[in-house]
Amino acid sequence: MLVVKALHISLVVAWFAGLFYLPRIFVNLAMVPADSPAERERLLLMANKLFKFMTPLGVLAVVLGLWLWFGYGFSGGWLHAKTALVGLLVVYHVHCGIVLKAFQTGRNTRSHVWFRFYNEMPVLVLFAVVFLVVLKPF
């Protein structure tokens, strides 16, 4: 079970790297001037490759997290709260894919300022999850 836990933590770290960086690319995409198609295409390529890379990492992190949950049991309200937050991260991840498609098709209407706030959501969830796991408050 410790191997599963070590893999889970490693995959979560890798997934979060993508969750932190992809919205940062969105900030830059929202700031690209209309007369700079090469810059836009380069950022779209980076965002697309990152999304395709981080998606399997997130899936594997969730699968191993469920394995640990079933392996150790369902006790503790903190675990249910953590699971709800992970569900929120999955929704955020999927929404990042929707935002990426909007940029690819030229349908994004949000500003770089909006994406700067959007970029902070996984940081807040990470803090909450770490505190829940370490402190197990309920």
Whole-angstrom Cα distance, residue 17 to residue 126? 11
Whole-angstrom Cα distance, residue 44 to residue 37? 10
- Phi/psi region, residue 76 (left: phi>0; alpha: psi -120 to 50; beta: rest), is left
* Residue 75 pLDDT: 80
* pLDDT, tens digit, 9 for 90 and up, residues 28-83: 999 999 899 999 999 999 999 999 999 999 999 999 999 999 888 878 899 999 99
Whole-angstrom Cα distance, residue 82 to residue 18? 20
* pLDDT, tens digit, 9 for 90 and up, residues 74-118: 788 999 999 999 999 999 999 999 999 999 999 999 999 999 999
The number of folded domains in the chain is 1
* Residue 73 pLDDT: 80
* Residue 72 pLDDT: 83
Long-range contacts of 5-12 (CB under 8 A, 24+ apart): 5/68, 7/60, 7/64, 8/61, 8/64, 8/65, 8/67, 8/68, 11/57, 11/58, 11/60, 11/61, 11/64, 12/61, 12/65
Residue 93: give the domain boundaries. 2-135
**What tokens does 40 get?**
């836009």
Whole-angstrom Cα distance, residue 76 to residue 79? 6
Alpha helix ranges (H) inside the chain: 2-31, 37-72, 77-104, 112-118, 121-135
Name the CA radius of gyration of the chain, rounded.
17
How many residues appear in the chain? 138
* Residue 74 pLDDT: 73
